[in-house]
Amino acid sequence: MAEALANYLPHSLEWLAYVVVGLVQCALLLLVPFVGAMFFVWVERKVSARIQDRLGPTRCGGRFGWLQLLADGLKLITKEDLRPKDADAVLFLLAPYISFCASFMALLALPFSNGWVVQNMNVGLFFILAVLGLEVFGVILAGYASASKWSLFGAMREAAQVVSYEVPLGMCVVVPVVITGTMNLVDIGNMQAGLFTNWLIFHDPFTFVTFWVYFTCATASVNRAPFDLAEAESELVAGFHTEYSGFRWLAFFMAEYGSMFIVSGLGAILFFGGWNGPIPIAHWLGLTVENGPVLGFIGNLLGCFNFIFKCVAGVTFMIWVRWTLPRLRIDQVMQVCLKYCVPIAAVMFLGATTWTYLLPGGVGLRSMPYGMRYDTTNVSAAFQPAAVVPPAPAAPVQVNQKLPQASPPKIAQADVPGPGRN
């Protein structure tokens, strides 16, 4: 997009096209934590009310309480911003924004449709996991800078939990990488195009179990119940954000709901076909780039809606789990990670690797592996094999060939010494 806009600008102003496109992309991505947080808060209230046989918000905005979102946002923005007297002023102010920026940066490599990604990285999967792991630094700084032992206890719990669950989480995401042969999320999503039988969750029984281990570890990594030990209000009076109020308190929860959206989207790409639906309706209708840019845009837009629907379904499932299962103790949280998730993820990784080696086509016994089903002309340039130019053949050398001998230099007559010449 930036290259197309740069064609209409002078050569000296080409940088302006990249700046404008970057600002537009950042503005669109900000809708995920801002608007997404408002919507998911409303969903969480309604889901929890249904589970507990209540009605939920019904005052603001009619029967379903649609305006409750705006009322809560206005209350948090206008609320007084307090800071403890003994708190570290700089770290206390920076902590919520560090968590928010970590969650926001992960969206840069998350594709919403075929090619609809801010930065198409060959290591997009690794980038998202690495950046999401930085969110815990904001939590630790918030607990340390609050000058409160309860906040510090919550921050230390969060650090131990996130670092521990990153091990089985990384082992789970390696399974789709082994099957597809790439860490590019756009390529992984395109390899699952077609019917839902092409989704990686149906590749083999080991991948099916891997998804549920991934969901458990992802729920723990975003600090959601029953793994929300850092916010245990019954023990720690809200944990690491006890001393926060107003917009900074809201920044922590925007980061949390944004991370929930990201791990749900990552699970949708790795296991549920990404933006590809269970039936390739867009492909049957000819809504592809090969039939024109307009039809290709419509097809990608439908894929984007499909991807967002899967992300919302994943977040809703996390909310359902929160209001269904009781909170675990800290020793039980670590036990689930070290005694169950890590061994199961290791066994599933070995099983999926062996299955891919013996039956690369998946459970359907297809002869073509996943990595070869996708048109290689659309794969990232980094995964294209470089053209090898064979060296020119050397001229044959004859063993008995005589080298030309140089003739002796001719000496001029005047230079030849002789009698009577000086």
- At 421 the pLDDT is 47
Taking phi over 0 as left and psi of -120 to 50 as alpha, with beta for the rest, 115 belongs to left
Q: Which two tokens stand for residue 7?
A: 């064609």
For 238-255, write each residue's pLDDT tens digit. 778 888 988 888 888 889
In this predicted structure, the answer to whether residue 420 has a pLDDT above a threshold of 50 is: no
Q: Given pLDDT bands bounded at 50, 70 and 90, which one contains residue 378?
A: very low
- pLDDT surpassing 90 at residue 4: no
pTM: 0.83
Residue 21 reports pLDDT greater than 70: yes
Q: What is the residue type of 152?
A: L
CA 250, 251, 255 angle in degrees (round to 5)?
115
Higher model confidence: residue 177 or residue 409? 177
Question: 403-419 burial string, b = 16+ CB within 10 Å, else e?
Answer: eeeeeeeeeeeeeeeee
Average pLDDT over residues 53-72: 84
Listed range (46-55, 98-107, 234-243, 346-355) with the worst mean pLDDT: 234-243
- Report the alpha-carbon distance of residue 111 to residue 89 in Å, rounded: 37
222 pLDDT more than 70: yes
Asked if residue 397 has pLDDT above 60, the reply is no
Ranges 69-73, 285-289, 357-361, 403-407: which has the least confidence: 403-407
* 311 pLDDT tier (thresholds 50, 70, 90): very high
Q: Which residue in 134, 391, 96 sits closest to 246, CA to CA?
A: 96
C-alpha pair distances (Å), 304 with each of 257, 310, 341: 19, 10, 32
Q: What percent of the chain has pLDDT over 90?
A: 38
Stretch 345-365: mean pLDDT? 84
Summarize pLDDT for 94-112 with one digit per residue, the tens.
999 999 999 999 999 999 9
The whole-number average pLDDT for the span 140-159 is 87
Cα–Cα distance, 362 to 235 (Å, whole number) = 48
3-state SS track over 55-84: CCCCCCCCCCCCCHHHHHHHHHHHCCCCCC
Burial class (CB in 10 A: 0-12, 13-18, 19+), 227: buried
pLDDT at 13: 76
Amino acid identity of 304?
C
Residue 379 reports pLDDT greater than 90: no
Domains in the chain: boundaries: 83-379
pLDDT at residue 422 in the model: 43
